[in-house]
Structure 1
Amino acid sequence: MRESPLLDPRIFSLAVARMVSALANSFLVVVLPLYIGSQAVRLPALTGSTVTVAGIRIAVSVELLIAIVLSLFGFLNSLSQPLTGSLSDRTGRRKPFLLFGLALVASGSAGYLIFTDYVLVLAMRGLQGIGAAFSIPISVALVNELSDPEERGNNFGLFNTFRLLGFGVGPLVAGVVVAGGPYVLTGKSISGFDAAFLVAVVGAAVSFALITLWISDPERAEETAGEDISIRVRGEHGGLDPVFALGIATIVMALSIALYAPLANVINERLNQGSFLYSIQFGATVFANVLFQLPLGRLSDTYGRRPFLIGGFILLLPTTLAQGLVTSSTGMIVARFLQGVAVAAVFAPSLALAGDLAREGASGSTLSLLTMGFGLGIAVGTLLSGLLVSFGFVVPFVVATAGGAIGLVLVITQVVEPDPDETVAAPAAD
């Protein structure tokens, strides 16, 4: 049996930095809706009225304004990642891009402390979306380049575990911080909202410090800068390029887990439950991800990536559909937990496989297809859920299950693993 890999302090530093950054961002996912809905933000004059766009009458509600702020981050973040990943590959630099992204995220959080106009709050969230587009694909590229091929799955599992810990803990802490305000800081009273924004600033600053102290640009990225970094759609032997196929599969996977968040009120009414049970159900997917990302990623180093990708998608289909059919709170918890296991089986091995297939010096542009796919799937899934539920509660879950079936077919027919002796994304020199 192969020995357990030793923990690389650089990978650990990236994982901790990503955890802190994810915690700070998830803070804002909870705080911004409350902040915008309070009297602290000056809303546009159109709020409460109806406007016509392309012949469609749309009510400009506070909820719509909140949705715009939240979705702007997701779309700017995900759609910009191939560009930022390619720029990093072309210059052969990782660390400056990562630090620049974290600086933008911190600036956006600090902006909430100053600006109280809705348009400026929207601009700050957009700034943070661009900052995340710089930091996320670059950090993933660094994990890839700092990993030995036989430890890549383990390292991506560790990285994702820490990211999910931050994302899962953030909303819980944010609620406590906002509710506990006002606070006294250096003799001045600050609201719970401002305290939460300060926590987000500190989180980005801590990530910035960790990267500054522990991470340097891999020599390999500098040596190969400027080589072919184009995104391939077609494979060498026909069909889709394996990484492009993985990107599509990642979109439908992320879409399936994003359906749940907008349906809180509908789900609670359907299952005759309160918000506490809903939070347990929502957290079950995150908890399963945290629990299984690392061991499944490590196992993929030993037994290959494709078995876990295929098994994960096979499990994803019934667990997604079940959420639209179950009529008990306990059944929903089980379905959500098993869905989290499915996502864990897919995400770390897919990142590792994309790293295995990445051309040397092109980790940023290659892996950005998957990180973009995840962010885009979350953004689209959130909007799709709210639109489709009006046709029946089960409809969003049926559509997501059909998308998952497409992902399964793509993995089976289009995704191949390279020969271990031909893995192209070799680790960077120490």
Structure 2
Amino acid sequence: MLRWVARRLRTTPVVIALSLARMSEALGNSLLIVMLPLYVAARPSTLIDLPREMLIGVMVSAFGFVLAGSMRVAGRLSDRWGHRKWLILTGLLLMALATAGFPLADGFVTILALRSLQGIAVALVTVPALSLISSTTAHDNRGNSLGLYGSFRMLGFTAGPLVGGLLHHHFGFAAAFLTGSAFILLALVLVHFTVPDDGPARPRSPMVAVDDGQEVAGWSGRSRVTLLVLTFGQLVLAASLSLLGTLENLFNERLGQSALAFGVAFSALTATQIVSQVLVGRLSDRLGRKRLVAIGFALLGPILLTMASVQTSLQLVLLMMLFGATTACTIAPSLALAGDLAEADNVGRDMSAITMGFALGLAVGPLLGGMLASASGLGLPFKVFGGVALLAAVLMGLFATDRYGKSVVGKRADRPK
């Protein structure tokens, strides 16, 4: 069945298996976006005496920082130990246990500890999964595969808050958390039975890379710069996305709309992103990654600047749709380009750099956005982030490269049978 679906979608069975598993995991994990702020507000905080809003901000940022710090460790484990399937299974098990533990939490410190454990768990799932996809796809199909993977994950991410809200409304917190844990365990079962183990890490071998047409030993300097630019871009992207939720109340006050109206606008963003990621991924296989990523950030800048002066709910919905399309231009092509340039025995290290940038953006975005909004209202954060997005486009155009050489995963793929 997986092989038939993979042929229809022009990818490999491993990609389909991981995509379905991440969709289930994302559904279980993303319902916490709705649940945890409500849960923190409903639980006493005896050891940390801070306002409720600050406690929620601390929890969100702590998750992002722990996730970012764990990404590099997960990448090293993936490269040095191998057995990426078992790293993914370990991460899913930790995530499910932490989610099931929330109903037992007696205060904020326990909630914070469980959420931090989830940060470690997400890193153990994300980096090995991306490394497996990069290692089992060819250069001319990697963008399509990562686009499919991202779209399936976004489907789960979109459904999770809705499922969590309904369960909380009708049955309470415990039912929502336990259902989330069940979906994560379903992902664990899918990975266990459908993803082959890639075995132990291979012995390290001398690398040959291409830098401006010349073969050189080791990883090329231009490739290193490209990875740094991609990491910075993902930080900017994640910070911009997290800014939207942070400033939801200010949007609703300016536009005189309800939380439901903002939810509709945000759903427009995710729906556009789901549809666009596969199309953009396939396009990057034909036109190249660098061009699409640069275009995405060049468009994201004006969109963020326009959001600073949005006046109606309809304008917000339209801008959110454009936001979703531009983020699709930056996610799958960035991951595919990192996979193209990655050394064959350091795929985890190189992919973890990109995901670490995204995780840092999730941590920094709410803090910086909240500070700027407190100082000068809704407009300033979007002006600052819009300018930084334009900077990312310039850096991508000037310093990144699409080239890859004999050492990298790009030209050939080791496909598990």
- TM-score after normalising by structure 2: 0.90
**In the alignment, structure 1 residue 86 sits paired with structure 2 residue 86:** no
CA drift at 1:239? 9.4
**In the alignment, structure 1 residue 321 sits paired with structure 2 residue 305:** yes
CA drift at 1:409? 1.5
In structure 2, which of residues 205, 223, 226 is the aligned counterpart of residue 242 of structure 1? 226
Aligned counterparts, 1:20-419, within 5 A: 20-38=24-42, 41-44=43-46, 47=49, 60-181=50-171, 192-218=172-198, 222-224=201-203, 236-237=220-221, 241-390=225-374, 391-419=376-404
In structure 2, which of residues 7, 11, 15 is the aligned counterpart of residue 11 of structure 1? 15
Share of identical aligned residues, percent?
35
Letter in 1 for 2:23: M
8 Å contact kept, 2:344–2:408: no
CA drift at 1:396? 0.2
CA drift at 1:61? 0.9
8 Å contact kept, 1:153–1:297: yes
Change (3 A) 1:145 1:236: closer
CA–CA separation in structure 2 for the residues paired with 1:227 and 1:262: 47
Letter in 2 for 1:289: Q
CA–CA separation in structure 2 for the residues paired with 1:299 and 1:201: 36
The secondary structure found in structure 2 opposite 1:259 is helix
CA–CA separation in structure 1 for the residues paired with 2:158 and 2:362: 15
CA–CA separation in structure 2 for the residues paired with 1:345 and 1:403: 17
Name the structure 2 match of 1:57.
none
8 Å contact kept, 2:300–2:389: yes
Letter in 1 for 2:164: A
CA–CA separation in structure 2 for the residues paired with 1:142 and 1:100: 16
CA–CA separation in structure 2 for the residues paired with 1:311 and 1:404: 11
CA–CA separation in structure 1 for the residues paired with 2:35 and 2:203: 43
**In the alignment, structure 1 residue 427 sits paired with structure 2 residue 405:** no
CA–CA separation in structure 1 for the residues paired with 2:221 and 2:415: 32
The secondary structure found in structure 2 opposite 1:180 is helix
Letter in 1 for 2:125: S
8 Å contact kept, 1:227–1:361: no
CA drift at 1:421? 7.3
Name the structure 1 match of 2:212.
none
8 Å contact kept, 1:247–1:373: yes
CA deviations on 1:160-191 (whole Å, 9 max, x unpaired) are 0011111111111110000011xxxxxxxxxx
CA–CA separation in structure 1 for the residues paired with 2:297 and 2:406: 28
CA–CA separation in structure 1 for the residues paired with 2:300 and 2:326: 5
CA–CA separation in structure 1 for the residues paired with 2:335 and 2:255: 36
8 Å contact kept, 2:85–2:198: no
CA drift at 1:347? 0.7
CA deviations on 1:188-246 (whole Å, 9 max, x unpaired) are xxxx1110111121122111111111112336x73245888xxxxx9845695211211
Between Structure 1 and Structure 2, which shows a larger proportion of helix residues? 2
RMSD between aligned residues: 2.2
How many residues align? The count is 398
CA–CA separation in structure 2 for the residues paired with 1:408 and 1:235: 24
Segment of structure 1 superposing worse, 142-151 or 351-360: 142-151
Mind listing any 5+ residue stretches in structure 1 that lack a counterpart? 48-59, 182-191, 229-233
8 Å contact kept, 1:309–1:350: yes
Mind listing any 5+ residue stretches in structure 2 that lack a counterpart? 1-6, 208-217
CA deviations on 1:264-284 (whole Å, 9 max, x unpaired) are 111111112222221122222
Segment of structure 1 superposing worse, 106-115 or 417-426: 417-426
8 Å contact kept, 1:92–1:224: no
CA–CA separation in structure 2 for the residues paired with 1:351 and 1:197: 31
CA deviations on 1:61-118 (whole Å, 9 max, x unpaired) are 1222222222221211122101211121011221121111111111111211323232
Change (3 A) 1:288 1:70: same
CA–CA separation in structure 2 for the residues paired with 1:284 and 1:95: 34
CA drift at 1:341? 0.6
CA–CA separation in structure 2 for the residues paired with 1:152 and 1:10: 13
8 Å contact kept, 1:19–1:166: yes
Name the structure 2 match of 1:53.
none
Letter in 2 for 1:122: L
8 Å contact kept, 2:344–2:407: no
CA drift at 1:5? 5.4
Change (3 A) 1:227 1:72: farther
Letter in 2 for 1:273: Q
CA–CA separation in structure 2 for the residues paired with 1:328 and 1:72: 34
